[in-house]
Amino acid sequence: MIRLNIHEAKTHLSRYLERVENGETIVLCRRNVPIAEIRRLPQPRESVPPPGLWKGTIEVPDSFFEPLPDWLMDAFEGEEGDGD
């Protein structure tokens, strides 16, 4: 942890920000009394997977593209069928 008076921080801000990026924390002081803390923010995670991530690992059978049976279509449409 780095303790800096405000004048020192203003004078050499870019130098200290490099250290913050590397994980150090800065405590800003006014007349040697701590008043604030500067630390690196957590980096956001990649929320969208890159295209093609699963390419070649998943197989979709041809039956996936066949029409659904009538009884299942009726269930989706809210109709009660006889189950055949």
Domain ranges of the chain: 2-38
Band (19; pLDDT cuts 50, 70, 90): very high
Distances (CA, A) of 45 to 5, 41, 53, 75: 34, 12, 16, 40
pLDDT at residue 36, as a whole number:
96
In tens, the pLDDT along 41-51 reads: 988 877 888 88
Domain 2-38: CATH architecture, name and number where available:
3-Layer(aba) Sandwich (3.40)
pLDDT at residue 82, as a whole number:
59
Band (10; pLDDT cuts 50, 70, 90): very high
Instruction: Note if the pTM is more than 0.85.
Output: no
Whether the pLDDT of residue 81 is over 80: the answer is: no
